[in-house]
Amino acid sequence: MEIMQFKIFCLENYKEFHNLTGKASFDVFKKYKIFDYISDFYDLLHSYGTLYIINNLDEFISHRQ
């Protein structure tokens, strides 16, 4: 349950930071398999602040484009 809540936290903060709709943010997470990434690195990611997490997700995406 904690990982699911963290995924939602990341999705919502990514949406707000990039001024996206919920659907657009979800589509990005789905396209780049960010939910899997969050699950795989939950132990590390959840210990960082929001801005670090957003920047990390942006970097993850940029390496996959």
Domain ranges in the chain? 2-62
Give dist(CA 43, CA 46) in Å, integer.
Answer: 6
Considering the entire predicted model, what is its pTM?
Answer: 0.92
**pLDDT level of residue 50 (50, 70, 90 thresholds):** very high
Q: Write a three-state SS string for the chain.
A: CHHHHHHHHHHHHHHHHCCCCHHHHHHHHHHCCHHHHHHHCHHHHCCCCHHHHHHHHHHHHHCCC
Q: Kindly report, residue by residue over 4-45, the tens digit of the pLDDT.
A: 999 999 999 999 999 999 999 999 999 999 999 999 999 999
Give dist(CA 62, CA 55) in Å, integer.
Answer: 10
